Amino acid sequence: MNPGTIMRTYLSLAFACLLSPAALAGTVYKCVENGKTGYADQPCGKNPVALELKVAPAAPGEAAERLARSKAYLAGVEAERAAQEEQAVRAARAAQRAQREALAERKRCDKLRLQSRWAEEDSRRASRSEAERERIKARRQAEALAVECPA
């Protein structure tokens, strides 16, 4: 179960409790044991005294206002959750994009290194008449590599 589902469950339960003031009404037992007074929802001690609690009905306006506040809070929590999910999706996409760009950069640099090595080999194998042209070609290829991939 993800955190958003858990949060919605807790909020739903809290919301239901807010709407049900009658759920607060019930019997509470006053117990005296060893000179100490305590209260519990079940009979305790030797002579428990039942205290009947009654909850005054909420005014209709008050219940509507409480409902509106609860709905607004829930909407805020949902909006925050949606924003966090959207941010996580954007971060994942940015990480994937950066990974693709790094791979493309590495491929381009590997290709330039290979071309530079080939140009160097060609300049060593060139005949006397072509040697200068091939050395210039190899030097330019090495310079291009240094500019594109300094590391």
Residue 144 neighbours by CB under 8 Å, 6+ apart: 112, 116
- What's the pLDDT tens digit per position in 137-149? 888 888 888 888 8
Cα(147)–Cα(112) distance, integer angstroms: 10
Report pLDDT for 10.
53
What's the mean per-residue pLDDT of the chain? 81
CA angle 99–103–104, rounded 5-degree value: 120
Answer whether 140's CB lies under 8 Å from 122's CB: no
- Average pLDDT (117-123) is 88
What is the helix (H) or strand (E) element at residue 37, kind and residue range?
A: strand 36-40
Answer whether 31's CB lies under 8 Å from 45's CB: yes
Residue type present at position 27: T
The DSSP output letter for 59 is P
Question: How, if at all, do strands 49-53 and 26-33 pair?
Answer: antiparallel
Report pLDDT for 12.
58
- What's the pLDDT tens digit per position in 15-50? 555 455 544 556 788 887 877 777 777 887 777 777
